[in-house]
Amino acid sequence: MIAAWKERAVLALALSALAGPAFAQSEGGVKIGVVAAQTGAFVSAGNTIGAGVSLAVKEINDGGGVKIDGKTFKLDLLNRDDRTDVNVAIAAGRELVNDDNINALYGTESHDFSVSMTKITGPAKVLQFTGNSSLGAILTEQSVAPGGPLHYTFQTEPPEFQRSGSTARGVLKLLGKEIGQPLKNAVVFVADDATGQYLSEHYVKALEANGQHVDLIKYPPSTTDFTPLLTRAKSLNPDTVHFWYNGDVTLIAFPQAVQLNVAKGYFLFGVDPGVWAERKLVSTAPVTLSCVPMCWGAPPSPEAKSYFDRYFAAGAVKGVQSSVSLLYYDYVHWYAKAMEEAGTTDPDKVVAQIEKMKYQGVVSKVPLYFDKRHRVTFATEVCLVKPGTSDKFECAVEEPPAEPPPGDNAG
């Protein structure tokens, strides 16, 4: 990868020698801001953003920095904790954009925060790389066009219907094979808040598109004792129970489900096989896990394994959703590359460059690109834990469906 950059850097140098002076940038370096949940309910996802970004920033700076127009620029990282509180997130965003003059913002992984952030980054022409969410619905061809309010915003994950689709298909395939019976009834557990609502909408439709009858149970987000709700689920005679919220809550609810013997098989969203192995969890019923974009406990490619080795060696915690860091790692490198290819830090030119690029990172076997709505597409890794074991996984990489299922708004 670095060799390829050197090539491009020389080219950029030559080009910029012919072109005019580069866009005036902030003195010192290129400033990258991160706003994420380092404390609070969504820490398991949020914490990974800062860690992934900081690894990428370190690698780039150690390699000399970003080479633009004959000069090299170090990347400055400014990290802010939003405490899983939208007001804190907005305040942090304002501070980074208005006071610290960042060039790009990475975060958040908490839904409905992202939309609020775009109102700050957009007018200031700060690039924003953020997770999928209700944002997806407002990323339209018009809104991301030059001059549009979301021109500088990029969604780091595929549209939810794609993730739901590939996950549902992968899960049902693996569980069906292990259980050995056709699967008909599914119960989905999700927290009763904006995140839960957003996620479950698509996943329920995806399951139905795969022939399942779905009962949805929404619980108060602060629930710790799930036994009453799980008993209720049991009375619905489910073949499979799907926990679709954040990994921490899932790991509280799942053991309770097994104790009550609720279903024949389970799906746990947001729990990496690595955590399953670390905690030496064991289940008599088959369990499936999924990771975005790929599992650190069962990396499907040597590049992914190498990344995770470096990520944890730098001191990051082995968390349930540590794999999310990989996305942000790739997008920081992508941004750096885009600046080098465009020969400038001018946001309009850089955005135009990103829109043209196909980027080969670690996240996907095939190069990633942003579609006309500034969204990417990549596969989801789904793993089955062999019953009775802590570290025997059978994993598959599921490609996403091209079209949303009936009734899905493709957000």
- Interface with other proteins by CB under 8 A: which residues? 38-41, 43-44, 47, 192, 217-220, 222-225, 227-229, 231-232, 234-235, 247-248, 251-252, 255-256, 259-261, 279-280, 317, 319-320
DSSP 3-state of 286: coil
How many C-beta atoms surround the C-beta of residue 331 within 10 A? 26
Pull the structure tokens for residue 231: 């008993």
Cβ contacts of residue 263 below 8 Å, gap of 6+? 187, 233, 234, 238, 239, 240, 241, 257, 285
Instruction: With CA atoms as reference, report the closest residue to 199 among 285, 252, 140, 136.
Output: 136
Give the shortest CB-371-to-other proteins separation in angstroms.
Answer: 34
Of 215 and 371, which has the nearer Cβ to other proteins? Answer: 215
How many C-beta atoms surround the C-beta of residue 62 within 10 A? 8
| DSSP per-residue codes, 114-126 | HHHHHHHHTTTT-
Q: Find the DSSP H helices in 180-272.
A: 194-209, 227-234, 247-260
Of 257 and 336, which has the nearer Cβ to other proteins? Answer: 257
Decide if 183 contacts 239 (C-beta within 8 A). Answer: yes
Pull the structure tokens for residue 296: 């650190």
Instruction: With CA atoms as reference, report the closest residue to 130 among 100, 94, 156, 167.
Output: 156
Of 41 and 339, which has the nearer Cβ to other proteins? Answer: 41
Of 7 and 222, which has the nearer Cβ to other proteins? Answer: 222
Pull the structure tokens for residue 337: 């590359």
Of 248 and 341, which has the nearer Cβ to other proteins? Answer: 248
Give the shortest CB-158-to-other proteins separation in angstroms.
Answer: 26
Give the shortest CB-407-to-other proteins separation in angstroms.
Answer: 21
Of 140 and 390, which has the nearer Cβ to other proteins? Answer: 390
Of 192 and 208, which has the nearer Cβ to other proteins? Answer: 192
**Distance (Å, whole) CA 260 – CA 39:** 31
**Distance (Å, whole) CA 285 – CA 305:** 28
Of 234 and 386, which has the nearer Cβ to other proteins? Answer: 234
Decide if 267 contacts 243 (C-beta within 8 A). Answer: yes
What's the Cα-to-Cα distance from 228 to each of 217, 225, 257, rounded to whole Å?
A: 12, 8, 10
DSSP 3-state of 396: strand
Instruction: With CA atoms as reference, report the closest residue to 240 among 174, 192, 193, 291.
Output: 174
Give the shortest CB-85-to-other proteins separation in angstroms.
Answer: 12
Decide if 327 contacts 307 (C-beta within 8 A). Answer: no
Of 51 and 362, which has the nearer Cβ to other proteins? Answer: 51
